[in-house]
Structure 1
Amino acid sequence: MYTMKIIKSTLKMLLRTVLGIIAFLGIFLFSAFLLSVWAVQKEPGTPGDVAIYILTNGDHTDVVMPVKNAVFDWSKEMSYSNTLGRDTTGRYVAVGWGDKGFYLNTPTWSQLKFSTAFKAAFALSTSAIHATFYPAMQESNNCKKIMISHAQYKRLVAFIDNSFKRDSTGKVINIKTNANYGKNDAFYDAQRRYNLFYTCNTWANNALKACGQKACVWTPFDRGIFYHYR
């Protein structure tokens, strides 16, 4: 009899836990949908001085900027020499923020470990910035061009620049790794921690807000951002 009570009590606890997880996921996904379609509007009446892009691989959003213009030279922060190819012909740099474990230890979704996902979801890991140089950008459903003013670009530069973690001399910290995606990319230590409520796409969405462009109120997914740029 005592054993049956323990079993029933355990089953009730498991059921409540499962229902709690389902309820949490339901609220999370509903909130993500609602706040993704709810837009923060673009600042009106600003000139289109600088072309930036948002780029997605289907899950993750990068912000793409000119490597060098009158406002800022990214090659002084993220040197071409940090890439395997050391190719200095790249005219654009795509910058993304995310969980370091995802970036460095998960080349494909099939190789995702539960420990990596768990640490990322609950802010138990550190973050990184991934930067990729491109010779040119081609607009498509996954790559959208946005024209912004010089003043707005300065704000975007400040947002991204402040996302880097720096050493004692103030320089960005290049992560030495063999996990590069190609010959023209590199990783850097970053500020903040990835979690369910602040993902790589939340960061990119906040970058758009920082420079006065149309964005979601909040989104953890790339689909939310690109919904407003269809």
Structure 2
Amino acid sequence: MMRVLRRLLAVMLIIVGAVAAGALIPLPLWSQAAEDNGGETRRILVLSNPIHTDIAIPLDADTRAAFAFLERSGVPVAEAGARWMIIGWGGRAFYLETPTWGDLKPMPVFRALTVDSSVLHVDVTGELDEGHPAVTALELGAEEFERLQVFIRQSFAQAPDAVAAIPDAGYGPYDRFFEAKGAFNALIGCNTWTAQALRASGVRTGLWNPLPQTLTFSLKLFN
């Protein structure tokens, strides 16, 4: 029994050490921030809950045009009252079947802890409380903001003539799910995708970010 307990303790210490190292070791190691030439910056938001992060993109004429293909799939990015587009990546079974904790079921949890195909969830909303503790605001230059948009667009799985919307999949009237690139598992999950998207735009994050808490900690630490 003591041998089993020691092994369990060793595994737990390894996991804790890996999570801590993932948050404290930056990627990239050295800051690659572009020189500030006084150009306009764009504010994006990282939205967190206990297990998941999303990226919020401000909606204006340029971003509405860049993501106009979503309008054809039922996401009203051109709606006058829409101020933010919220995008997240995750495991298909858990994401589609768990809109609230009350909908939690064993099979989606099992798929999330093993391997699942991935989806993107896209929603639009009005004003957001940028001072909320679950919101992290970041300022991007024009080039950095464009790289973020490119990364997001390239995360969609492409149908022959458009992105592949999942029929009748959404939590409400303004959001939709789409087939996405990549496989989901507990080690490479929704928060690691958020970190990859941010790094594509030049934002430094921790090396490995399986949890929202470690990702937001690293964002504040390195930026």
TM-score above 0.5 = yes
User: Sequence identity of aligned pairs in percent?
Assistant: 25
Query: Is structure 2 residue 151 aligned with structure 1 residue 159?
Result: yes
Whether the aligned pair in 2 keeps the contact of 1:68 and 1:74 (CA below 8 Å) is: no
Count of aligned residue pairs for this structure pair: 213
1:29 is aligned to 16
What 5-or-longer segments of structure 1 have no aligned partner?
A: 1-10
2:213 is aligned to 223
What 5-or-longer segments of structure 2 have no aligned partner?
A: none
Distance in 2 separating the partners of 1:66 and 1:80: 19
Query: Is structure 2 residue 170 aligned with structure 1 residue 173?
Result: no
1:7 is aligned to none
Change (3 A) 1:145 1:42: farther
* CA deviation vs aligned residue, 1:29-50 (integer Å, no higher than 9, x gap): 3201221132334625345521
Alignment map for 1:1-230 (pairs within 5 Å): 23-40=10-27, 41=31, 43-46=33-36, 47-70=39-62, 73-79=65-71, 82-83=74-75, 87-123=79-115, 125-139=116-130, 140-169=132-161, 171-177=162-168, 180-227=170-217, 228-229=219-220
Distance in 2 separating the partners of 1:20 and 1:29: 14
Whether the aligned pair in 2 keeps the contact of 1:67 and 1:75 (CA below 8 Å) is: no
Distance in 1 separating the partners of 2:181 and 2:73: 23
* 1:192 Cα offset (Å): 0.6
Distance in 1 separating the partners of 2:174 and 2:60: 16
* 1:185 Cα offset (Å): 1.5
Between 1:29-38 and 1:196-205, the stretch displaced more is 29-38
Which has the greater radius of gyration?
A: 1
| Secondary structure of the corresponding residue to residue 160 of structure 1 | helix
Whether the aligned pair in 1 keeps the contact of 2:94 and 2:111 (CA below 8 Å) is: no
Amino acid in the other structure paired with 1:136: E
Q: CA RMSD in A?
A: 2.8
Distance in 2 separating the partners of 1:226 and 1:76: 30
Whether the aligned pair in 1 keeps the contact of 2:75 and 2:122 (CA below 8 Å) is: no
| Secondary structure of the corresponding residue to residue 44 of structure 2 | strand
TM-score by length of 1: 0.80
Whether the aligned pair in 2 keeps the contact of 1:52 and 1:63 (CA below 8 Å) is: yes
| Secondary structure of the corresponding residue to residue 139 of structure 2 | strand
